[in-house]
Protein backbone atom coordinates (compact mmCIF):
# COMPACT_ATOMS: atom_id res chain seq x y z
CA UNK A 1 0.00 0.00 0.00
CA UNK A 2 1.01 3.65 -0.46
CA UNK A 3 1.98 6.30 2.09
CA UNK A 4 -0.52 8.67 0.49
CA UNK A 5 -4.04 8.49 1.92
CA UNK A 6 -5.57 9.70 -1.34
CA UNK A 7 -3.82 7.00 -3.38
CA UNK A 8 -4.87 4.30 -0.92
CA UNK A 9 -8.52 5.40 -1.01
CA UNK A 10 -8.50 5.55 -4.81
CA UNK A 11 -7.02 2.06 -5.00
CA UNK A 12 -9.65 0.65 -2.63
CA UNK A 13 -12.43 2.31 -4.62
CA UNK A 14 -10.94 0.81 -7.78
CA UNK A 15 -10.90 -2.68 -6.26
CA UNK A 16 -14.51 -2.38 -5.09
CA UNK A 17 -15.55 -0.78 -8.43
CA UNK A 18 -16.99 2.24 -6.60
CA UNK A 19 -19.70 0.07 -5.06
CA UNK A 20 -22.52 2.03 -3.43
CA UNK A 21 -22.10 0.27 -0.08
CA UNK A 22 -18.37 1.12 0.15
CA UNK A 23 -18.28 4.15 2.45
CA UNK A 24 -15.34 6.41 3.35
CA UNK A 25 -15.51 8.86 6.28
CA UNK A 26 -12.71 11.41 5.86
CA UNK A 27 -11.43 12.99 9.09
CA UNK A 28 -8.88 15.61 10.09
CA UNK A 29 -7.20 14.94 13.45
CA UNK A 30 -6.63 17.80 15.89
CA UNK A 31 -2.93 17.82 14.96
CA UNK A 32 -3.86 18.51 11.32
CA UNK A 33 -3.17 15.04 9.89
CA UNK A 34 -5.73 13.56 7.51
CA UNK A 35 -7.19 10.10 8.00
CA UNK A 36 -10.17 8.03 6.89
CA UNK A 37 -12.46 5.37 8.32
CA UNK A 38 -13.63 2.86 5.73
CA UNK A 39 -16.65 0.60 6.24
CA UNK A 40 -19.20 -1.42 4.27
CA UNK A 41 -22.78 -0.22 4.66
CA UNK A 42 -24.88 -2.50 6.83
CA UNK A 43 -21.94 -4.61 8.06
CA UNK A 44 -20.73 -2.36 10.90
CA UNK A 45 -22.62 -1.16 13.96
CA UNK A 46 -22.86 2.63 13.65
CA UNK A 47 -23.11 3.27 17.38
CA UNK A 48 -20.06 1.14 18.15
CA UNK A 49 -18.21 2.78 15.29
CA UNK A 50 -18.93 6.26 16.64
CA UNK A 51 -18.12 5.46 20.28
CA UNK A 52 -15.02 3.32 19.86
CA UNK A 53 -13.45 4.73 16.68
CA UNK A 54 -14.56 8.15 15.45
CA UNK A 55 -15.05 9.89 18.82
CA UNK A 56 -11.64 8.84 20.24
CA UNK A 57 -9.91 9.98 17.04
CA UNK A 58 -11.54 13.42 17.09
CA UNK A 59 -11.62 14.09 20.85
CA UNK A 60 -8.18 12.91 21.95
CA UNK A 61 -5.39 15.47 21.91
CA UNK A 62 -2.78 13.86 19.69
CA UNK A 63 0.96 14.62 19.80
CA UNK A 64 2.67 16.44 16.98
CA UNK A 65 3.77 13.29 15.21
CA UNK A 66 3.37 11.92 11.72
CA UNK A 67 3.63 8.70 9.78
CA UNK A 68 4.59 5.53 11.63
CA UNK A 69 4.99 7.22 15.04
CA UNK A 70 1.48 8.68 14.95
CA UNK A 71 0.09 5.39 13.65
CA UNK A 72 1.63 3.45 16.56
CA UNK A 73 0.41 6.05 19.09
CA UNK A 74 -3.17 5.74 17.81
CA UNK A 75 -2.91 1.95 17.82
CA UNK A 76 -1.58 1.78 21.39
CA UNK A 77 -3.13 4.79 23.17
CA UNK A 78 -6.22 6.07 21.36
CA UNK A 79 -8.30 3.18 20.10
CA UNK A 80 -9.74 1.04 22.90
CA UNK A 81 -11.50 -1.65 20.89
CA UNK A 82 -10.66 -5.23 21.91
CA UNK A 83 -10.14 -6.41 18.33
CA UNK A 84 -7.61 -4.38 16.32
CA UNK A 85 -5.59 -5.94 13.47
CA UNK A 86 -2.78 -4.35 11.47
CA UNK A 87 -3.52 -4.53 7.72
CA UNK A 88 -0.70 -4.51 5.19
CA UNK A 89 -2.37 -5.25 1.82
CA UNK A 90 -5.33 -3.87 -0.12
CA UNK A 91 -6.99 -7.29 -0.33
CA UNK A 92 -6.88 -7.64 3.45
CA UNK A 93 -8.37 -4.17 3.85
CA UNK A 94 -11.26 -4.98 1.50
CA UNK A 95 -11.92 -8.37 3.13
CA UNK A 96 -11.99 -6.91 6.63
CA UNK A 97 -14.23 -4.07 5.53
CA UNK A 98 -16.71 -6.49 3.96
CA UNK A 99 -16.62 -8.63 7.13
CA UNK A 100 -17.90 -5.78 9.32
CA UNK A 101 -14.60 -4.24 10.40
CA UNK A 102 -13.86 -0.52 10.24
CA UNK A 103 -10.58 0.07 8.40
CA UNK A 104 -8.57 3.07 9.63
CA UNK A 105 -6.17 4.65 7.11
CA UNK A 106 -3.67 7.40 8.03
CA UNK A 107 -2.07 9.84 5.64
CA UNK A 108 1.71 9.40 5.59
CA UNK A 109 1.82 5.68 6.43
CA UNK A 110 1.15 2.61 4.30
CA UNK A 111 -0.33 0.23 6.91
CA UNK A 112 -3.96 0.36 8.09
CA UNK A 113 -5.93 -0.86 11.10
CA UNK A 114 -8.95 -3.18 11.00
CA UNK A 115 -11.16 -2.50 14.03
CA UNK A 116 -13.88 -4.93 15.04
CA UNK A 117 -17.23 -3.10 15.01
CA UNK A 118 -19.37 -5.81 13.41
CA UNK A 119 -23.06 -5.12 13.70
CA UNK A 120 -24.91 -6.71 10.82
CA UNK A 121 -28.42 -8.06 11.38
CA UNK A 122 -29.01 -11.77 11.85
CA UNK A 123 -31.76 -14.10 13.00
CA UNK A 124 -31.94 -14.57 16.74
CA UNK A 125 -31.25 -17.92 18.37
CA UNK A 126 -34.37 -20.08 18.06
CA UNK A 127 -35.46 -23.70 18.21
CA UNK A 128 -34.03 -25.88 15.43
CA UNK A 129 -36.44 -26.83 12.66
CA UNK A 130 -35.38 -30.40 11.92
CA UNK A 131 -34.01 -31.76 15.25
CA UNK A 132 -36.94 -31.24 17.60
CA UNK A 133 -36.75 -32.86 21.03
CA UNK A 134 -39.21 -33.34 23.88
CA UNK A 135 -36.55 -32.89 26.53
CA UNK A 136 -33.45 -30.78 26.28
CA UNK A 137 -32.30 -27.43 24.99
CA UNK A 138 -34.49 -25.40 22.64
CA UNK A 139 -31.55 -23.47 21.20
CA UNK A 140 -30.32 -24.03 17.67
CA UNK A 141 -27.60 -22.57 15.50
CA UNK A 142 -28.33 -19.48 13.44
CA UNK A 143 -26.61 -17.92 10.42
CA UNK A 144 -23.94 -15.90 12.32
CA UNK A 145 -20.73 -17.89 12.76
CA UNK A 146 -19.56 -15.96 15.84
CA UNK A 147 -22.89 -16.55 17.58
CA UNK A 148 -22.64 -20.27 16.81
CA UNK A 149 -19.13 -20.36 18.26
CA UNK A 150 -20.48 -18.71 21.42
CA UNK A 151 -23.28 -21.31 21.72
CA UNK A 152 -20.67 -24.07 21.63
CA UNK A 153 -18.29 -22.34 24.04
CA UNK A 154 -21.10 -21.73 26.54
CA UNK A 155 -21.69 -25.47 26.78
CA UNK A 156 -18.05 -26.51 26.59
CA UNK A 157 -15.97 -24.37 28.96
CA UNK A 158 -12.90 -26.49 28.38
CA UNK A 159 -9.66 -24.69 27.42
CA UNK A 160 -8.86 -27.61 25.13
CA UNK A 161 -11.77 -26.60 22.87
CA UNK A 162 -10.05 -24.96 19.89
CA UNK A 163 -11.54 -22.87 17.08
CA UNK A 164 -9.50 -22.35 13.90
CA UNK A 165 -10.82 -19.91 11.30
CA UNK A 166 -10.37 -20.06 7.54
CA UNK A 167 -11.62 -18.05 4.58
CA UNK A 168 -12.97 -20.16 1.71
CA UNK A 169 -14.36 -19.17 -1.66
CA UNK A 170 -12.38 -17.01 -4.05
CA UNK A 171 -15.46 -14.84 -4.61
CA UNK A 172 -17.64 -15.25 -1.52
CA UNK A 173 -14.75 -15.04 1.03
CA UNK A 174 -16.83 -17.08 3.47
CA UNK A 175 -15.56 -17.50 7.02
CA UNK A 176 -15.20 -21.08 8.22
CA UNK A 177 -14.45 -22.21 11.78
CA UNK A 178 -13.06 -25.66 12.52
CA UNK A 179 -13.64 -26.74 16.14
CA UNK A 180 -12.29 -29.73 18.03
CA UNK A 181 -11.09 -30.80 21.48
CA UNK A 182 -7.32 -30.88 21.51
CA UNK A 183 -6.12 -34.16 22.94
CA UNK A 184 -9.43 -35.88 22.18
CA UNK A 185 -9.41 -35.52 18.40
CA UNK A 186 -6.24 -37.08 17.01
CA UNK A 187 -3.58 -34.79 15.58
CA UNK A 188 -3.57 -36.74 12.31
CA UNK A 189 -7.33 -36.18 11.81
CA UNK A 190 -7.10 -32.48 12.66
CA UNK A 191 -4.13 -32.02 10.33
CA UNK A 192 -5.88 -33.89 7.52
CA UNK A 193 -9.05 -31.82 7.91
CA UNK A 194 -7.00 -28.62 8.01
CA UNK A 195 -5.27 -29.57 4.76
CA UNK A 196 -8.60 -30.41 3.08
CA UNK A 197 -10.03 -27.02 4.01
CA UNK A 198 -6.95 -25.16 2.82
CA UNK A 199 -6.92 -27.03 -0.50
CA UNK A 200 -10.65 -26.45 -1.07
CA UNK A 201 -10.75 -24.79 -4.51
CA UNK A 202 -14.23 -23.30 -4.81
CA UNK A 203 -15.53 -19.91 -5.92
CA UNK A 204 -18.48 -19.47 -3.56
CA UNK A 205 -19.53 -21.16 -0.31
CA UNK A 206 -23.18 -20.31 0.28
CA UNK A 207 -24.00 -23.28 2.49
CA UNK A 208 -22.47 -26.13 4.45
CA UNK A 209 -23.38 -28.62 1.70
CA UNK A 210 -20.95 -26.93 -0.70
CA UNK A 211 -18.01 -28.29 1.32
CA UNK A 212 -19.14 -31.90 1.76
CA UNK A 213 -17.50 -33.31 -1.44
CA UNK A 214 -14.22 -31.61 -0.48
CA UNK A 215 -14.19 -33.09 3.04
CA UNK A 216 -14.98 -36.73 2.29
CA UNK A 217 -12.20 -39.25 1.81
CA UNK A 218 -13.25 -40.16 -1.73
CA UNK A 219 -14.07 -36.60 -2.77
CA UNK A 220 -17.01 -37.88 -4.83
CA UNK A 221 -20.77 -37.40 -4.62
CA UNK A 222 -21.78 -40.81 -3.29
CA UNK A 223 -25.14 -42.05 -2.00
CA UNK A 224 -24.11 -42.09 1.65
CA UNK A 225 -21.92 -39.47 3.24
CA UNK A 226 -19.49 -39.65 6.12
CA UNK A 227 -20.07 -35.97 6.87
CA UNK A 228 -22.89 -35.40 9.35
CA UNK A 229 -24.87 -32.23 9.95
CA UNK A 230 -26.55 -30.88 13.06
CA UNK A 231 -28.51 -27.79 14.07
CA UNK A 232 -28.09 -28.33 17.81
CA UNK A 233 -25.16 -26.97 19.89
CA UNK A 234 -25.61 -29.68 22.54
CA UNK A 235 -25.45 -32.38 19.90
CA UNK A 236 -22.24 -30.90 18.46
CA UNK A 237 -20.65 -30.72 21.92
CA UNK A 238 -21.46 -34.39 22.45
CA UNK A 239 -19.76 -35.24 19.16
CA UNK A 240 -16.69 -33.17 20.05
CA UNK A 241 -16.19 -35.15 23.27
CA UNK A 242 -16.01 -38.27 21.09
CA UNK A 243 -13.09 -36.93 19.06
CA UNK A 244 -15.10 -35.51 16.16
CA UNK A 245 -14.35 -32.33 14.25
CA UNK A 246 -16.98 -29.67 13.59
CA UNK A 247 -17.07 -27.20 10.71
CA UNK A 248 -19.06 -23.99 11.29
CA UNK A 249 -19.89 -22.11 8.08
CA UNK A 250 -20.84 -18.45 8.24
CA UNK A 251 -24.33 -17.93 6.85
CA UNK A 252 -25.51 -21.50 7.55
CA UNK A 253 -27.63 -22.49 10.58
CA UNK A 254 -26.11 -25.97 10.72
CA UNK A 255 -22.68 -27.42 11.46
CA UNK A 256 -20.83 -30.23 9.69
CA UNK A 257 -19.47 -33.07 11.84
CA UNK A 258 -16.78 -35.58 10.86
CA UNK A 259 -16.54 -38.50 10.94
CA UNK A 260 -20.23 -39.42 10.81
CA UNK A 261 -21.38 -43.01 11.31
CA UNK A 262 -24.36 -44.70 9.68
CA UNK A 263 -25.91 -45.75 13.00
CA UNK A 264 -26.00 -42.13 14.22
CA UNK A 265 -28.81 -41.38 11.80
CA UNK A 266 -31.05 -43.42 14.11
CA UNK A 267 -30.01 -41.63 17.31
CA UNK A 268 -31.45 -38.46 18.81
CA UNK A 269 -30.83 -36.25 21.83
CA UNK A 270 -34.01 -37.64 23.45
CA UNK A 271 -32.40 -41.09 23.57
CA UNK A 272 -30.06 -39.83 26.28
CA UNK A 273 -32.80 -38.05 28.22
CA UNK A 274 -35.23 -40.99 28.38
CA UNK A 275 -34.83 -44.31 30.11
CA UNK A 276 -32.59 -46.85 28.31
CA UNK A 277 -35.40 -49.30 27.56
CA UNK A 278 -37.48 -46.62 25.83
CA UNK A 279 -34.44 -45.44 23.85
CA UNK A 280 -33.90 -49.04 22.71
CA UNK A 281 -37.52 -49.36 21.56
CA UNK A 282 -37.26 -46.08 19.63
CA UNK A 283 -34.05 -47.07 17.91
CA UNK A 284 -35.31 -50.50 16.92
CA UNK A 285 -38.44 -48.82 15.55
CA UNK A 286 -36.30 -46.48 13.44
CA UNK A 287 -34.17 -49.31 12.05
CA UNK A 288 -37.33 -51.28 11.21
CA UNK A 289 -38.86 -48.25 9.50
CA UNK A 290 -35.67 -47.72 7.47
CA UNK A 291 -35.63 -51.33 6.22
CA UNK A 292 -39.35 -51.15 5.44
CA UNK A 293 -38.97 -47.91 3.48
CA UNK A 294 -36.12 -49.32 1.38
CA UNK A 295 -37.20 -52.92 0.75
CA UNK A 296 -41.01 -53.11 0.94
CA UNK A 297 -42.00 -51.88 -2.59
CA UNK A 298 -39.27 -53.89 -4.33
CA UNK A 299 -40.00 -57.01 -2.32
CA UNK A 300 -43.73 -56.64 -2.99
CA UNK A 301 -43.14 -56.48 -6.75
CA UNK A 302 -40.73 -59.44 -6.69
CA UNK A 303 -43.12 -61.65 -4.72
CA UNK A 304 -46.21 -60.75 -6.77
CA UNK A 305 -44.56 -61.26 -10.15
CA UNK A 306 -42.14 -64.14 -9.49
CA UNK A 307 -43.20 -65.80 -6.20
CA UNK A 308 -46.97 -65.38 -5.71
CA UNK A 309 -47.13 -68.70 -3.85
CA UNK A 310 -45.63 -67.00 -0.78
CA UNK A 311 -48.87 -65.04 -0.22
CA UNK A 312 -51.94 -66.48 1.59
CA UNK A 313 -54.70 -67.58 -0.78
CA UNK A 314 -57.15 -64.82 0.19
CA UNK A 315 -54.53 -62.10 -0.08
CA UNK A 316 -53.14 -63.23 -3.43
CA UNK A 317 -56.69 -63.34 -4.83
CA UNK A 318 -57.26 -59.69 -3.86
CA UNK A 319 -53.90 -58.68 -5.31
CA UNK A 320 -54.65 -60.62 -8.53
CA UNK A 321 -58.02 -58.87 -8.91
CA UNK A 322 -56.41 -55.51 -8.31
CA UNK A 323 -53.74 -56.08 -10.97
CA UNK A 324 -56.28 -57.35 -13.53
CA UNK A 325 -58.41 -54.20 -13.18
CA UNK A 326 -55.55 -51.73 -13.66
CA UNK A 327 -54.09 -50.88 -17.08
CA UNK A 328 -50.42 -50.57 -16.07
CA UNK A 329 -47.90 -53.31 -15.28
CA UNK A 330 -47.11 -53.60 -11.56
CA UNK A 331 -43.61 -52.10 -11.93
CA UNK A 332 -44.92 -49.02 -13.73
CA UNK A 333 -47.77 -48.76 -11.26
CA UNK A 334 -45.38 -48.59 -8.30
CA UNK A 335 -43.19 -46.05 -10.10
CA UNK A 336 -46.24 -43.90 -10.89
CA UNK A 337 -47.43 -43.88 -7.27
CA UNK A 338 -43.94 -43.13 -6.01
CA UNK A 339 -43.66 -40.28 -8.51
CA UNK A 340 -46.98 -38.84 -7.32
CA UNK A 341 -45.91 -39.02 -3.66
CA UNK A 342 -42.57 -37.34 -4.35
CA UNK A 343 -44.30 -34.63 -6.38
CA UNK A 344 -46.78 -33.92 -3.59
CA UNK A 345 -43.98 -33.87 -1.01
CA UNK A 346 -41.98 -31.39 -3.04
CA UNK A 347 -45.03 -29.21 -3.60
CA UNK A 348 -45.90 -29.23 0.10
CA UNK A 349 -42.29 -28.45 1.01
CA UNK A 350 -41.90 -25.43 -1.28
CA UNK A 351 -45.31 -23.86 -0.85
CA UNK A 352 -46.20 -21.66 2.15
CA UNK A 353 -47.16 -23.72 5.21
CA UNK A 354 -50.94 -23.13 4.92
CA UNK A 355 -51.02 -24.18 1.27
CA UNK A 356 -48.57 -26.99 1.94
CA UNK A 357 -50.92 -28.67 4.39
CA UNK A 358 -53.76 -28.28 1.90
CA UNK A 359 -51.71 -29.93 -0.86
CA UNK A 360 -50.83 -32.84 1.43
CA UNK A 361 -54.47 -33.44 2.38
CA UNK A 362 -55.72 -33.15 -1.19
CA UNK A 363 -52.93 -35.36 -2.49
CA UNK A 364 -53.31 -38.09 0.11
CA UNK A 365 -57.10 -38.26 0.27
CA UNK A 366 -58.53 -37.01 -2.99
CA UNK A 367 -55.96 -38.03 -5.61
CA UNK A 368 -55.17 -41.39 -4.02
CA UNK A 369 -58.79 -42.37 -3.49
CA UNK A 370 -59.87 -41.15 -6.94
CA UNK A 371 -57.02 -43.01 -8.63
CA UNK A 372 -58.09 -46.26 -6.99
CA UNK A 373 -61.79 -45.68 -7.76
CA UNK A 374 -60.94 -44.88 -11.39
CA UNK A 375 -59.01 -48.12 -11.73
CA UNK A 376 -55.71 -46.45 -12.62
CA UNK A 377 -53.84 -47.92 -9.67
CA UNK A 378 -54.59 -50.79 -7.31
CA UNK A 379 -55.38 -50.38 -3.63
CA UNK A 380 -52.76 -52.95 -2.41
CA UNK A 381 -50.03 -51.24 -4.42
CA UNK A 382 -51.07 -47.83 -3.12
CA UNK A 383 -50.98 -49.15 0.46
CA UNK A 384 -47.51 -50.66 0.05
CA UNK A 385 -45.99 -47.49 -1.39
CA UNK A 386 -47.76 -45.31 1.19
CA UNK A 387 -46.36 -47.40 4.07
CA UNK A 388 -42.90 -47.16 2.53
CA UNK A 389 -43.09 -43.38 2.16
CA UNK A 390 -44.39 -42.88 5.70
CA UNK A 391 -41.60 -45.05 7.11
CA UNK A 392 -39.02 -42.97 5.25
CA UNK A 393 -40.11 -39.92 7.28
CA UNK A 394 -39.14 -41.69 10.51
CA UNK A 395 -35.45 -41.22 9.63
CA UNK A 396 -35.40 -37.79 7.97
CA UNK A 397 -31.60 -37.61 7.80
CA UNK A 398 -31.59 -40.57 5.41
CA UNK A 399 -34.57 -39.53 3.29
CA UNK A 400 -32.54 -38.80 0.10
CA UNK A 401 -30.70 -42.13 0.39
CA UNK A 402 -33.93 -44.01 1.10
CA UNK A 403 -35.58 -42.51 -1.99
CA UNK A 404 -32.72 -43.57 -4.27
CA UNK A 405 -32.37 -47.04 -2.78
CA UNK A 406 -36.14 -47.64 -2.88
CA UNK A 407 -36.19 -46.97 -6.63
CA UNK A 408 -33.12 -49.19 -7.14
CA UNK A 409 -34.75 -52.10 -5.28
CA UNK A 410 -38.02 -51.56 -7.16
CA UNK A 411 -36.20 -52.05 -10.47
CA UNK A 412 -34.18 -54.97 -9.09
CA UNK A 413 -37.31 -56.71 -7.80
CA UNK A 414 -39.32 -56.01 -10.94
CA UNK A 415 -36.64 -57.24 -13.36
CA UNK A 416 -34.89 -60.10 -11.54
CA UNK A 417 -37.11 -60.92 -8.56
CA UNK A 418 -35.93 -61.77 -5.06
CA UNK A 419 -32.46 -62.75 -6.25
CA UNK A 420 -31.99 -59.27 -7.67
CA UNK A 421 -32.90 -57.77 -4.30
CA UNK A 422 -30.45 -60.09 -2.54
CA UNK A 423 -27.63 -59.24 -4.96
CA UNK A 424 -28.28 -55.50 -4.73
CA UNK A 425 -28.36 -55.75 -0.92
CA UNK A 426 -24.93 -57.40 -0.97
CA UNK A 427 -23.57 -54.67 -3.25
CA UNK A 428 -24.91 -51.94 -0.95
CA UNK A 429 -23.45 -53.63 2.15
CA UNK A 430 -20.05 -54.03 0.48
CA UNK A 431 -20.11 -50.38 -0.55
CA UNK A 432 -21.04 -49.22 2.97
CA UNK A 433 -18.39 -51.46 4.53
CA UNK A 434 -15.68 -50.03 2.29
CA UNK A 435 -16.62 -46.40 2.87
CA UNK A 436 -14.65 -44.45 5.49
CA UNK A 437 -14.14 -40.89 6.70
CA UNK A 438 -10.85 -39.90 8.31
CA UNK A 439 -10.04 -43.59 8.47
CA UNK A 440 -13.22 -44.57 10.39
CA UNK A 441 -15.43 -47.19 8.70
CA UNK A 442 -18.87 -45.77 7.89
CA UNK A 443 -20.84 -48.63 9.50
CA UNK A 444 -18.68 -48.91 12.62
CA UNK A 445 -19.02 -50.50 15.12
CA UNK A 446 -21.18 -53.07 13.29
CA UNK A 447 -18.12 -53.87 11.21
CA UNK A 448 -15.43 -54.34 12.31
CA UNK A 449 -17.65 -55.84 14.98
CA UNK A 450 -16.93 -55.15 18.65
CA UNK A 451 -19.39 -56.27 21.32
CA UNK A 452 -18.11 -53.57 23.68
CA UNK A 453 -18.73 -50.80 21.15
CA UNK A 454 -22.26 -52.02 20.41
CA UNK A 455 -23.56 -50.80 23.78
CA UNK A 456 -24.80 -47.53 22.26
CA UNK A 457 -26.00 -48.64 18.82
CA UNK A 458 -29.29 -50.56 18.86
CA UNK A 459 -29.66 -50.23 22.61
CA UNK A 460 -28.18 -47.83 25.13
CA UNK A 461 -26.88 -48.89 28.51
CA UNK A 462 -27.51 -46.80 31.62
CA UNK A 463 -25.72 -43.51 32.22
CA UNK A 464 -23.89 -44.86 35.29
CA UNK A 465 -21.99 -47.27 33.09
CA UNK A 466 -21.96 -45.19 29.93
CA UNK A 467 -20.45 -42.13 31.65
CA UNK A 468 -17.51 -44.12 33.01
CA UNK A 469 -16.05 -44.34 29.53
CA UNK A 470 -15.39 -41.67 26.97
CA UNK A 471 -15.96 -42.85 23.43
CA UNK A 472 -13.33 -41.65 21.03
CA UNK A 473 -14.56 -42.25 17.52
CA UNK A 474 -10.97 -42.61 16.33
CA UNK A 475 -10.69 -45.71 18.53
CA UNK A 476 -13.21 -47.40 16.21
CA UNK A 477 -10.44 -47.81 13.63
CA UNK A 478 -9.85 -51.51 13.48
CA UNK A 479 -12.72 -52.22 15.90
CA UNK A 480 -10.79 -51.39 19.09
CA UNK A 481 -12.66 -50.69 22.32
CA UNK A 482 -13.61 -47.38 23.85
CA UNK A 483 -10.91 -45.68 25.86
CA UNK A 484 -11.49 -45.44 29.57
Q: What is the pLDDT of residues 256-270, one digit of tens each?
A: 999 898 988 998 888
Over the stretch 177-198, which tens digit does the pLDDT of each residue have? 999 999 888 898 899 999 999 8
Distance of alpha carbon 350 from alpha carbon 359, whole angstroms: 11
Q: Is 175 contained in some domain?
A: yes
Look at residue 134 and tell me if it is in a domain: no
CB 114 within 8 A of CB 87: yes
Instruction: Between 207 and 470, name the one with better pLDDT.
Output: 207
Structural domain ending residue among the three candidates 65, 100, 116: 116
Q: What is the pLDDT of residue 481?
A: 39
**Mean pLDDT value across the chain:** 86
Share of the chain above pLDDT 70, in %: 91
What pLDDT is stored for residue 480 in this prediction?
A: 40
pLDDT (0 to 100) of residue 403: 93
Is the residue at 208 inside a domain?
yes
Q: Cis peptide before 442, with omega less than 30 degrees from 0?
A: no
423 & 298 share domain: yes
Q: What is the pLDDT of residues 299-313, one digit of tens each?
A: 999 999 898 888 888
Claim to verify: residue 216 and residue 330 sit in the same structural domain: no
What's the confidence (pLDDT) of residue 36?
Answer: 95
- 94 and 225 fall within a common domain: no
Per-residue pLDDT reduced to its tens digit, 110-142: 999 999 998 877 777 888 877 777 777 888 898
Could you report the per-residue pLDDT of 353-375, keeping only the tens digit for each? 666 665 665 666 667 777 777 77
Task: Kindly state whether residues 311 and 404 are assigned to the same domain.
Answer: yes
Asked if 287 and 244 sit in the same domain, the reply is no
pLDDT value of residue 75: 92
Q: Are residues 59 and 155 in the same domain?
A: no
**Are residues 299 and 400 part of one domain?**
yes
State the Cα–Cα distance between residues 264 and 273, nearest whole angstrom: 16
Same domain for 300 and 428: yes
> What gap in Å lies between CA 293 and CA 417, rounded to an integer?
18
**pLDDT of 207:** 86
**pLDDT at 450 exceeding the cut of 70:** no
Res. 472 pLDDT band, cuts 50 70 90: low
pLDDT in tens, 161-172: 999 999 898 888
Percentage of the chain with pLDDT > 90? Answer: 40
Q: What is the pLDDT of residues 141-158, one digit of tens each?
A: 988 898 999 999 999 998
Residue 462 domain-assigned (yes or no): no
User: Does residue 477 carry a pLDDT above 70?
Assistant: no
- pLDDT of amino acid 33: 93
Q: Are residues 183 and 77 in the same domain?
A: no
Instruction: Tell me: pLDDT of 473 over 80.
Output: no
Same domain, 50 and 153: no
Residue 31 lies in a domain: yes
Separation CA 139–CA 155 (nearest Å):
12
Answer yes or no: is 13 within a domain.
Answer: yes
Q: Residue 228 and residue 256: Cα distance in Å, rounded?
A: 6
Query: Is the pLDDT score of 343 beyond 60?
Result: yes
**pLDDT, tens only, 48-98:** 899 989 999 998 888 888 889 999 999 999 998 888 999 999 999 999 999
Model pLDDT, residue 87: 94
In a domain, 273, yes or no: no
Same domain, 295 and 429: yes
**DSSP per-residue codes, 368-395:** HHHHHHTTSS-HHHHHHHHHHHHHHTTS
Let me know if residue 464 belongs to a domain: no
The whole-number pLDDT of residue 70 equals 93
Phi, psi of 319 (to 5 degrees): -65, -40
334 and 409 assigned to the same domain:
yes
Q: DSSP labels for 265-280?
A: GG--GGGGTS-HHHHH
What does the CA dihedral 197, 199, 204, 207 come to, rounded to 10 degrees? -30
Question: Which residues, 6 or more positions from 118, have their beta carbon under 8 angstroms from its beta carbon?
Answer: 43, 44, 45, 99, 100, 101, 146
Residue-level pLDDT at 483: 39
Domains identified in the chain, total number: 3
| pLDDT over 50 at 482, yes or no | no
Condensed to tens digits (0 to 9), the pLDDT of residues 51-65 reads 989 999 998 888 888
CA atoms within 13 A on the CB side of 475: 16
- pLDDT (mean) for 201-219: 85
Confidence of residue 318 (pLDDT cuts 50, 70, 90): confident
Give me the pLDDT at residue 272, please.
79
Among 128, 106, 136, which Cα is nearest to 31's?
106
Model-level pTM? 0.82
Q: What is the pLDDT of residue 402?
A: 95
- pLDDT band of residue 427 (cuts 50, 70, 90) is very high
Q: Domain containing 64: what range? A: 5-116
Amino acid sequence: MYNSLKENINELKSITLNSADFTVRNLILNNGVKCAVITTEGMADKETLAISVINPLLENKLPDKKGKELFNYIYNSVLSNSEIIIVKTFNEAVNYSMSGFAVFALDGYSNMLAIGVQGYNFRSVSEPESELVQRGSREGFNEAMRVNMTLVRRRMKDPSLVFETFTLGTQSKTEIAMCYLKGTATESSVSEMRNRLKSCDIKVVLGAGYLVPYLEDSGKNEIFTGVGITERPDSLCGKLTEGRIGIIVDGTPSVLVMPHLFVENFHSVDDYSNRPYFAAITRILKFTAYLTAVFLPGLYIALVIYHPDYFPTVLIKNIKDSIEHTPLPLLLEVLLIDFLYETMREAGLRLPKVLGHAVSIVGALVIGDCAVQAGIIGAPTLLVVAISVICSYVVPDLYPQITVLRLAFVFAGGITGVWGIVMLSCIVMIYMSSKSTLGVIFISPITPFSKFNMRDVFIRIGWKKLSKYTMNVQSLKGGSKYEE
